[in-house]
Structure 1
């Protein structure tokens, strides 16, 4: 990070108590604030601990040092709450020790023990690392317990040395340290949850914009709050209404008899920003904004008011929120009936989707712990709600509808942790078959929005469905039944052969397996029945016989789930012969998950309560049941995967890579494609296996290079590849000649290039012909929102035709390296098949790990396309590669900061 870029950085983040602060570099304009901090808002004892004594000149000297002419060797950050500087952290980099930062830190007395010091340190660590600092050192007094507690809780190793009553503290700065990342995440989670308390557990509420008109939004929301049993004050604000329904209406937020924790704004869009500012000045801690259509300036003012006054914001364009906790019972939405109390957390971006989802959950009898209509998501997001549900003590199922991701990297980390504790289901909205093709490389063409989202969901363990119906179908199973074994073997039992076959087909289409069942089942079946899987009991089966059969299948251990399909027959008109009784009279909660299909029922899915009091999901369609079982199997598989560390890529040369990138972008400020030499140098800095390549600027050099390759032991033919600036696909442009065995063939090929490409031709690459193997595509695309995406696929000239690719968001874990290879449809080609040996899979995984590391080390790398990578039993080698760079600042996804929506950015 350059010093110029550092001085432009500003971030908003939460303290431990939920207060919003601004973290930014200190400048000359901050001198009076720094002087005031040191001179007036620190006790004598605090100044003694900071300056190792009480000196009247110390505050002035500190202000002069921090806010004077700052050179390249001083990094200083201040934390601001509104207009108040509450703390500062700085480090000076000694000229003779460029990797060391001499640290100083101070927080105003009344802001101590609220997490300000740790937050400042986190941001200073990030800035210092970007300047090449690898260790902080500080001199402290032995009695300064506060600062020692800060260091101890940071999550990094701390080394102390006592010398004459002073302690020399040394802290190595490793942002990739898992303990540090976990500590940062936990601090962020606690601060986030603290800030949401006023929103989801308010003690008092005000509705601003309550109209006298019956049926208006504001009046409807107020009535629902009061009728829903909210135990605290529910106040109304409208400057032109004295009372409604016998209750007082106040002319402004400032006129309320008490400051509400939460304000619901039911005012027109042009009035939202002004009301938000009034709420902030009054001390309100959370807002729900129902209006839509805010302009850019109003959006900016709204977010600014919320950040300046530490208010969390839902919306705008929100349907509202609901909290069914008996101690709260808040129904502040205008969508319909108050959700049933329960344990499912629901967050949606679309109000219409929210209404439909709540209605379907009510059909099932699945209650809701809290419901939030996120709307345009200027602040509170799905990530915030996941962290709330993780620790609210009530939620055991999370349902999300997200049309966009503002902070997907933070969301992925949170979801990966939360999904270990409870199922997280989402509707994968916004899928598009027409992906991005702008950069034209194979890797970029493969990185469609759908591919990126699927990678996010896969790595985070999120169950991604394709419709509200499929979401509810899956929730019905996961909420009522145990998970199956990861194997995914299912038995189908039906009383009619036709529906059993349909169920078997649906299960197979969903990727589940139907194993052969034991012949012992035949003794439990009537004449003419089939004990194969699917089991056809025929219509003659009675409830008792069916119950014994189901028990036998469950105890057989041959299957991991059971799907029972029953169609109405004339025999079932007698209740004594109704096979559904076998389901109702038996237990719903078995060793394995059980689902039923009753095609004659009028609703898509419902729950039946069985003899043990538990519920059985019943579907009207075999496809819906099969998809739900497949999602349950996938969740079981994900939970069975061990938690994995980041993939290792030893021997990477970060210094060389950074130098190369800096040099290229200095010469090409707008970025572009690296030439063959630059591409090879960058990939080699991270140990990626490249075939021998020689750059030839003319025909003579190409001939000499081909001759030298033969002398060095490359006895076979060579390949000649033309190059010109901006080139992407060589083969499609006719820029590749292979199998050249003689010097005359090399000369002829080069002359053909000159004739075809003319003055555009910059030269050619000479390579030995690679030994045959399995051709793969490996690459990286930097997504501006999601970050780097690593892809692996079947490669070569048929890449687009085969369309066999898998993707994961970087950084990859060791587990990702294995699953990416295994998830390819062409994986059997890599594992070996009759007549062909297995390739060197560790070498393939090493390519992926090094690409992941390269993407993390070089954020300016927007595309890397290695195609083909030839995998053989003795290793893997890349024979062609393209790399595109663009100027982009480094981004630390672990740095705590509040997301600022694009609609609220400065114009």
Structure 2
């Protein structure tokens, strides 16, 4: 499918950015926005319509006067400037409203009450929640509170306080189920609650659970509709709408289908009506195949008629049409797939919906497929059909204005059918939320992706080492690795990996035995395994003896095992079974070549692998059939299916993917360690102070970056600032180490690579050398230089590099690797998305090629690994706490036994607004 000129969906933003939409527990779409003074009347009507019982729960008395006072506070406190008691919007009072189709259904508010004694420098706020009668038990209050928590955190509030009647069990349960730490104190008929706003993993898990329930409920009209209408059905053969309608009819859809065409009475045997309003019943799903200019109007007609989901196959929407389409879907509570897509399908037996314009119906099966490219979708459907895996549901996301890969992962997790997830995503709306969902789903089923958009032609050179190293490919791969997603580079590789993961048990390690009937083919397979990161261990003496006992004369039992061209079906079966059951290897790769002297034909030898009724082992087995004409096949076997590949490289890559998945599953989910000596309020104040003076942002000076690093306990080499020659001499005398040597580094705003500019002097001893070095820097750089940084000469050690880049889509990315002046040339880096877990830190430290140096290679002793872990965790926390941190570059970081020290640092800030990537809200268009 081709792209369009319409704007792309952006990541969800915080409610502070303006109105947003989110899903209730039953899948209903509501609008959440800040309260304004002119909302007074609507708020008053909300309270006046509440039952006496609910009024009493809200105000402790069923008093109209209390309701009037509460409504008046919205008018008074939501106004800019506010009053003394309310302190104005953004300072002392916040009110959030929930609306459905223009009607107010809930309100939550907070008002700052004082300083938080448990968190110095932060404050507490008193909160209240009210939900309209008729909307209880649908998650309105919980959703509003989640958004209020996000706003409060951005405002520096650390805890909510609330009073409730002890009999108000529903409200108390809402607080308890939020996932936040809540302390309750009972005082007679009342309960005083204190809710801590720390973003703990328990809270994020609760958010995910509520989001999954709501998301799945909202997708039911889309993926399990009871009726479908195709709008824009052409009379001429070859039209897209006609093709979709034909597939719905011939695919065995269990519900009712309708056609909309003002110029035809029937289309492909289906009765047609002239417009949406004339449909005999309200369909759950409407497929729009009309010209782009008509899409917003038809979508509005569907919304007013009560349609719950839209599938827009039309392409070419401009920005105005795109916004109108999405606004209509949000206003009328409809989920949207597309536009510019090839449709969707659900092969479940009681659904059988094929609402695509593909040439063939998808084969029923257990693989969930979501793609942005229609061409990739057709290729995957065809490949999965050939493998006899088939699909449970298929969604062509197209331009992905609403429904995304994250939504589909949640659906497959819950549908009771899917056991394999395949994704092709050209873009990510909210990668951090996607990552958390994928981590959870990946533990239940393999999740594979075709990594699209790996290159960045014309990418501009970055300013710092960190930004230069942080390619989009590295960022995407970090996401996939951390989430347990199997990333592949082509459709063929994706299908090859899927075949093995679907058909065979996971290997417990990377040890592979190659068994072949042709020695040369075995060597090729051995090379392929080694190149894929697999190992071919020597077989034990007892196993060698047992293998030779069952093979023909002349066989070799090294690894690879050469069974010779004379091997028979029984001999090959016995050999493979003995090797697989030995415990000495984790997988067996059988490579078969047709030969003129074979004792058994190729088909018979293959049967030795597929027909083994007495086989008792859990070792995965894969075959390479050199003469087969397909890249991969799944051969029916007694115990399931046997994956067979056309070349050793493909089989080795698939096995390597299986090994990586097994390793990921074997490791428990990581945790984010708690850090001591972190002063986040001070750091935020320092950032705000800098941006007040530099509204456009910029690179921090030595004092400012040292303070920021000190707020997070990141160790730095002692230093002093000198603006004159005499100051430099005094600083050098004070800072010189046991060897008496110091370093002078020139500084001016924006200077990043001192070595490139020859802006530093090393190994300076005594006043005379310090003075000479300072004069040299002054002579060469003149008024450009604002001063020098004086430091003691650091001891010898391993020079490393650690940094952060704040990606506008993916969030902060932490990089680590070999440092020094050649860091970009050697490109020995690893990357993970923040916040880092303990596992992520371990992976960062062990992934670069320089890792052996850190563990004592060469007899120099291990560096301070715990200190290195702490540095990376603190750098991650710095980036997560401060979204204004555009990039940070610590290079070099000196690593020695017992010591980790940052010798130099560069930090750039930009005026960015805090984003909450985990807040439950639907996507918006940029």
Alignment match, 2:323: 300
- Counterpart-to-counterpart distance in 1, 2:292 and 2:193: 53
**Matched residue of 1:234: which SS?**
strand
- Counterpart-to-counterpart distance in 2, 1:140 and 1:772: 63
**Are 1:288 and 2:347 counterparts?**
no
Alignment match, 1:756: 780
**Are 1:47 and 2:55 counterparts?**
yes
Alignment match, 1:77: 96
Alignment match, 1:783: 807
Alignment match, 1:32: 41
- Counterpart-to-counterpart distance in 1, 2:245 and 2:523: 54
Alignment match, 1:662: 688
**Are 1:708 and 2:727 counterparts?**
no
Alignment map for 1:309-708 (pairs within 5 Å): 309-432=332-455, 436-485=459-508, 487-518=509-540, 519-520=544-545, 521-572=547-598, 575=601, 578-586=604-612, 590-610=617-637, 612-708=638-734
The structure-2 alpha-carbon separation of the partners of 1:95 and 1:494, relative to structure 1 and needing over 3 Å to count, comes to: closer
- Counterpart-to-counterpart distance in 1, 2:553 and 2:732: 79
The structure-2 alpha-carbon separation of the partners of 1:122 and 1:843, relative to structure 1 and needing over 3 Å to count, comes to: same
Contact 1:434 1:448 in 2 (8 A): no
Alignment match, 2:119: none
**Matched residue of 1:539: which SS?**
coil
The structure-2 alpha-carbon separation of the partners of 1:39 and 1:490, relative to structure 1 and needing over 3 Å to count, comes to: same
Bigger shift: 664-673 or 213-222? 213-222
Q: CA deviation at 1:39?
A: 1.5
- Counterpart-to-counterpart distance in 2, 1:501 and 1:890: 56
- Counterpart-to-counterpart distance in 2, 1:247 and 1:155: 51
Q: CA deviation at 1:439?
A: 3.7
Contact 1:202 1:261 in 2 (8 A): yes
Q: Give the one of 882, 885, 888 matched to 2:909.
A: 885
Alignment match, 2:207: 184
Q: CA deviation at 1:589?
A: 8.4
Q: CA deviation at 1:57?
A: 2.3
**Matched residue of 1:94: which SS?**
strand
What is the TM-score with the length of structure 2 in the denominator? 0.94
What is the TM-score with the length of structure 1 in the denominator? 0.96
After superposition, the C-alpha distances for 1:576-599 in whole angstroms (9 at most, x for unaligned) are 994223113226884111110111
**Matched residue of 2:18: which SS?**
coil
Q: Which has the higher contact order (CA 8 A, sep 6+)?
A: 2
Alignment match, 2:5: none
Contact 2:443 2:665 in 1 (8 A): yes
**Are 1:859 and 2:883 counterparts?**
yes
- Counterpart-to-counterpart distance in 2, 1:862 and 1:86: 40
- Counterpart-to-counterpart distance in 2, 1:638 and 1:589: 26
- Counterpart-to-counterpart distance in 1, 2:228 and 2:603: 56
**Matched residue of 2:134: which SS?**
helix
Alignment match, 2:841: 817
After superposition, the C-alpha distances for 1:284-343 in whole angstroms (9 at most, x for unaligned) are 111110011100000000010111111111100110001000010000000121111110
**Are 1:205 and 2:228 counterparts?**
yes
Alignment match, 2:897: 873
Alignment match, 1:103: 127
Alignment match, 1:56: 64
Alignment match, 2:169: 145
Contact 1:589 1:615 in 2 (8 A): no
Alignment match, 1:905: none
Q: CA deviation at 1:740?
A: 0.5
After superposition, the C-alpha distances for 1:149-186 in whole angstroms (9 at most, x for unaligned) are 211211123322232422222222222x2221111110
- Counterpart-to-counterpart distance in 1, 2:883 and 2:616: 50
- Counterpart-to-counterpart distance in 2, 1:817 and 1:576: 49
Bigger shift: 585-594 or 570-579? 570-579
Alignment match, 1:898: 922
- Counterpart-to-counterpart distance in 2, 1:745 and 1:135: 57
- Counterpart-to-counterpart distance in 1, 2:794 and 2:41: 68
Contact 2:828 2:848 in 1 (8 A): yes
Q: CA deviation at 1:574?
A: 5.5
Q: Give the one of 164, 170, 181 matched to 2:194.
A: 170
The structure-2 alpha-carbon separation of the partners of 1:834 and 1:509, relative to structure 1 and needing over 3 Å to count, comes to: same
Q: CA deviation at 1:526?
A: 2.2
- Counterpart-to-counterpart distance in 2, 1:875 and 1:159: 42
**Matched residue of 1:796: which SS?**
coil
The structure-2 alpha-carbon separation of the partners of 1:850 and 1:668, relative to structure 1 and needing over 3 Å to count, comes to: same
- Counterpart-to-counterpart distance in 1, 2:602 and 2:425: 48
Contact 1:379 1:901 in 2 (8 A): no
**Matched residue of 1:292: which SS?**
coil
- Counterpart-to-counterpart distance in 2, 1:577 and 1:788: 54
Q: CA deviation at 1:132?
A: 2.4
Bigger shift: 71-80 or 433-442? 433-442
> What is the aligned-residue RMSD (CA, Å)?
1.6
**Matched residue of 1:488: which SS?**
coil
- Counterpart-to-counterpart distance in 2, 1:244 and 1:322: 21
After superposition, the C-alpha distances for 1:423-475 in whole angstroms (9 at most, x for unaligned) are 00001110016585554101001110000001000000000000000000001
Q: CA deviation at 1:529?
A: 2.0
Q: Give the one of 197, 215, 219 matched to 2:242.
A: 219
After superposition, the C-alpha distances for 1:865-903 in whole angstroms (9 at most, x for unaligned) are 00000100011001000000001111122211112133x
Q: CA deviation at 1:385?
A: 0.3
Contact 1:436 1:447 in 2 (8 A): no
Q: Structure 2: which 5+ residue stretches go unaligned? A: 1-13, 83-87, 117-121
- Counterpart-to-counterpart distance in 1, 2:790 and 2:536: 54
Alignment match, 1:22: 31
Q: CA deviation at 1:571?
A: 3.5
Q: CA deviation at 1:110?
A: 1.1
Q: Structure 1: which 5+ residue stretches go unaligned? A: 903-907
Alignment map for 1:802-813 (pairs within 5 Å): 802-813=826-837
Alignment match, 2:105: 86
Contact 2:581 2:616 in 1 (8 A): no
Q: CA deviation at 1:9?
A: 3.3
- Counterpart-to-counterpart distance in 2, 1:866 and 1:855: 13
Residues paired across the two proteins, number: 892
**Are 1:155 and 2:179 counterparts?**
yes
Q: CA deviation at 1:210?
A: 0.7
**Matched residue of 2:180: which SS?**
coil
